[in-house]
Homo-oligomer: A and B are copies of this chain.
Amino acid sequence: MTKPGSRRRGQRTGRSVRDKNLITQQPWKQIEYQYQPQNVLSEDQIEAIHEASLTILEDIGVKVHEPEARRYLEQAGAKVDHASEMVYLDRGLVEEKLKLPPSEFTLHARNPARNVKVGGKHAIFASVGGPAFVSDLDKGRRQGTYAEMCDFIRLVQSLNILHQEGGGPFEAMDLPQESRHLDLHYAQATLTDKNWQPWGLGQDRARDGLEMGCIALGITREELVDKPVFTTVINTNSPLQIDIPMAEGLIEMALHGQPVIITPFTLAGAMSPITLAGALTQQNAEALSGIVLAQCVRPGTPVIYGGFTSNVDMKTGSPAFGTPEYTLAAQASGQFARRYGVPFRSSNVTSSNAVDAQAAYESQMSIWGAMTGHVNLLNQGAGWLGGGLVASFEKLIIDAEMLQMMSAYNKPLAFDDDAIALDTIREVGPSGHFFGTSHTLARYEDAFYAPMVSDWDNYENWIDRGSLGTAERANKVWKKLLSDYEQPEIDPAIDEALQDYMARRKQEIHGKTA
């Protein structure tokens, strides 16, 4: 049996000594927006797109490949043609269902101290999920192993700025394809005590995720219904389709009251109109179709409005990420989510194949689009590289740094007389210095953001220390974090129950003990 416990450190020996050398991090806390979101569309434009989306759903229709999903929609009053798999949702039905999902909910983790609020002024950051490849500076891009995947999850646990594990950073190619989701869930449930995303593709896997999540939290599947634990990304198949695995995953999660993240992948110029207004219209129609389906399965199912509109490179057809169009689409998507009173999901993305300046500026463009759009769940928040095909160990650290900066940006500012500091300005006077004042000494330890990987030193010192670039420093940071990693405590009975479940399911899948 595969057991990722080799690095486990139950005993916290020597903690106080080791602490001195720990990587600088901000403490765990959720982001709470301090400033207004950036609205890039006028209210009229929002309503125009809303109306056009309703026309799409009513007149053009959505192709729903999964029969059960069509039946749910038909029962709710949609016009359905089962032969062509087409579903037509009239305006009244859509408007009625849009009233049902909650605007905020709490997402539960194995460790209640890691529970997080989703919606409103709250934001959470998730790690990258789903890439095919892993990469680091030492060995380059490659297919990943389970041991490497566990290391990545350990880092997600170690990085305080990450609030959620994003669904498995990459595939563990040394494990059998049919059952490796079980090993992933075991790693998620034991190597981190944060919330984690399950695999949402297909009914059986969705159920395995639910079962293992419930075991980890010590609850039954029945108790799950009023306790959001699993956020599952449901991508529509643009244009205007919901495919079978996605519909199965959505239904399974909605039946258990679990939040579904409806995310159309509307690449302007390819799977949606080339105009941003057109791409957003189609994104919105598709998002609404998923939201309505979830409400038809179970009224009140929490949903998250996912925005992932970007554009293709018209020369090559490649998707582009972190472009100005992406930024605008993220901000506009936040407006739609607020229009419908549901939480908003966006992402931290880049097309860059290297952990370099482009990776950073495209990520920044997407992070700023997301944050100024008041994203509630920044999915793919840390570690994404190469258009999402790669999970990078160094990018994980650099993204965590950038997210920490956004967190620090959203720290409430002191604005009392002490903060304005007129007395200190008077005390120092013209040509004085503030280093030694009592005002400075009382605050210097945590007055400013302290970086994890940024190097602020002068050129000479930087050269003396080997003139390491950001990616090389990030390489050292993740290795240090990994060596300092301590596995979060878990009830041995729960650990055993997880192992038992995994063993049983592997036997069912493979017909033998894996």
Contacts and interface: CB of A to CB of B under 8 A. Distances in A.
A409 interface: yes
A497 interface: no
B240 A430 contact: yes
Nearest to A63: B430
A443 B368 CA distance: 27
Contacts of A62: 430
* Interface size, A (range): 35 or more
Given A357-B360, A456-B318, A273 B36 contact: no
Interface in A40-84: 40-41, 45, 48-49, 52, 55-56, 59-63
Interface in A388-419: 389-390, 398, 401-402, 405-406, 408-409, 411, 413-415, 418-419
A17 interface: no
Contacts of A365: 364, 405
Interface string A264-284: 000011111111111001100
A434 B356 contact: no
Interface stretch (A153-161, A187-195, A308-316, A482-490): A308-316
A16 interface: no
A421 B405 CA distance: 39
A186 to B, nearest CB: 30
A425 B282 contact: yes
Interface stretch (A93-101, A219-227, A319-327, A502-510): A319-327
Across the A-B interface, the 4 shortest Cβ-Cβ residue pairs: A278-B421, A364-B364, A360-B360, A63-B430
27 contacts: A35-B40, A38-B372, A48-B420, A52-B420, A52-B422, A60-B429, A63-B431, A269-B434, A274-B440, A275-B418, A276-B414, A277-B413, A277-B419, A278-B419, A278-B420, A311-B448, A314-B447, A319-B456, A323-B408, A324-B406, A328-B413, A357-B398, A358-B454, A361-B402, A364-B364, A364-B368, A386-B459
Given A281-B420, A353-B457, A356-B471, 13 more contacts: A45-B415, A48-B420, A86-B430, A269-B447, A275-B443, A277-B420, A314-B448, A320-B456, A353-B467, A358-B453, A358-B470, A360-B364, A361-B398
